[in-house]
Amino acid sequence: MTTMITTPAATPALAWDHSGHLGLGTRLDGAGPAWFDLAGDVHTFSGVISGPKGSGKSTTARALAAAARASQVVPLTTLYTDLSGGMENPLLAEIASIPILNTTPGTAIDLLHDAVEVRAEILRDRGERSLAGTELPVILAVVEGADRIVGNRPQRWMWVARRARKLNIALLPILIQDDNPNLAGQRPPWRLLSSTNRIQMRGSRTLAGIARIRDAVGNEHDTQVPYLADGDPWLRTEIAPDDALDPATATVFDGFYIAPPTPVRRDLWP
């Protein structure tokens, strides 16, 4: 099952597969998309988006959350630490959002608990214990300025991350970094947090930026990342499974679902 976010020119911007991998843009070596394992690796607090101001970190995170929500792989609810910008997008406006503003780790954890209650209430209202035959969907918490929330003490962040994992919440920290592949000048624990699997944005306010993506096995790929303007009415997400969904499951995805074409049975040819 694959979810794609497309732009007005119908150019794939993001691809999201059933395993929770995100294909972000096109690798500069021509070898297709660079994949980022959000669903698995964020839970081990190794997923992070970093880069200088204006490099597209938040835009990438919002588009990522929209793709994940439409595919129902990761979030039913998305938590944002910063609601400035992005919510004018009609697709993103459908995401139930709870802000985690500059706060303490304890307050952040309280909000995560509240979000779990919101998730359960939404499912109860829909008369469902699960969604599309899967486990209860996790919540994706996009945490802007994670270092500020924990007072630049990464060990406190690990405390928040461990509690989130118990609550089945995925955390995606966003860190403002100097445009440096080695994350020079950052405290060692933050470097460790960013060293396993990350998206590092480069450039500033460009129409098509560059991201260096490190995958789970340590390979790094420079990738052309499409610029997704906030509030773009033409930005849309589609879910296109390899096999047709049953009618009951298809209704869960509403207008996002695109049924695959009916295969031609060659055994019936004359």
Residues of the chain with pLDDT under 70: 1-23, 36-47, 58-59, 61-141, 144-157, 168-170, 176-198, 203-209, 215-217, 226-270
Distance CA 136, CA 63 (A): 22
What are residue 213's DSSP bridge partners? Answer: 199, 221
pLDDT at position 74? 42
pLDDT at position 96? 34
Structural domain count, the chain: 1
Opening angle at CA 46, ends 145 and 24, nearest 5: 85
pLDDT at position 149? 63
Residue 169 structure tokens:
């919440």
pLDDT at position 235? 45
Q: In the chain, at which residue ranges do the beta strands (DSSP E only) sit? A: 2-6, 12-17, 21-24, 26-27, 34-37, 47-51, 75-80, 96-99, 138-144, 169-176, 197-202, 208-214, 220-226, 236-240
- Whether the CB-CB separation of 124 and 82 falls below 8 Å is answered with no
pLDDT at position 102? 46
Whole domain around residue 109: which residue ranges? 2-268
pLDDT at position 93? 32
CA nearest 122: which of 76, 168, 72? 76
pLDDT at position 76? 40
Distance CA 77, CA 167 (A): 13
Q: What is the CATH number of the domain that holds 163?
A: 3.40.50
In angstroms and rounded to an integer, the radius of gyration of the C-alpha atoms of the chain is 19
- Whether the CB-CB separation of 190 and 154 falls below 8 Å is answered with yes
pLDDT at position 133? 38
What angle in degrees, to the nearest 10, is found between the helix axes of 105-125 and 154-166? 20
pLDDT at position 59? 64
CA nearest 163: which of 107, 112, 116? 112
Distance CA 168, CA 74 (A): 10
Other beta carbons within 10 angstroms of residue 210's beta carbon come to: 18
pLDDT at position 234? 41
